[in-house]
Amino acid sequence: MEKTLIILKPDCVQRRLIGRVVQRFEDKGLTLSGMKLMQIEKSLAEKHYAPHVGKPFYPGLIEYITSGPVVVLALAGPNAITVSRKLMGATFGFDAEPGTIRGDFGISKTFNLIHGSDAPETAETEIALYFAPGELLDYSTAAEGWTSKPNEV
């Protein structure tokens, strides 16, 4: 089962959208494997966003992600990364299609509500930054048999 990391960023938390956003992932058929409310420290943010060091938006990105509480999720399911990214929508809310998280709740170029891993390798690295061994749960739900067939991944 593929896993992905999702971060509900400070603007999402401050706007009290946590439940509505998590519900979209669950409605789609993804399973929560881990979840925590936390404040990201600067050192962790720098590790997470290391690939962007030197880019003009990097300082603002670090300031933004550390500016308030976030909710960090590990989601599991068939094609979890692709499914999550489609649910999230385009990076900037004004570009995102209606029906996506950013399309329905965002308009800003700076405050884009949510982060999601972009590839399996990235997801593995990012999940390890936020969840210690033993903090993630693997379990089955009754809905799994109704959301996908085992061989259709």
Residue 105 counted as domain residue = yes
Q: Is residue 29 exposed (0-12), middle (13-18) or buried (19+ Cβ within 10 Å)?
A: middle
pLDDT in tens, 63-117: 999 999 999 999 999 999 999 999 999 999 999 999 999 999 999 888 999 999 9
Residue 84 counted as domain residue = yes
The catalytic site residues sit at 115
CATH code, 19: 3.30.70.141
Residue 77 counted as domain residue = yes
Residue 151 counted as domain residue = no
Do 98 and 62 contact (CB within 8 A), yes or no?
no
Residue 22 has pLDDT above 70, yes or no: yes
Q: What's the total number of domains in the chain? A: 1
Residue 67 counted as domain residue = yes
Q: pTM for the full model?
A: 0.93
Q: How confident is the model over 48-65, as a mean pLDDT?
A: 95
Residue 148 counted as domain residue = no
Do 138 and 33 contact (CB within 8 A), yes or no?
yes
Residue 147 counted as domain residue = no
For the chain, percent of residues with pLDDT exceeding 90: 87
**Domain boundaries, position 42:** 2-138
List beta partners, residue 31: 76
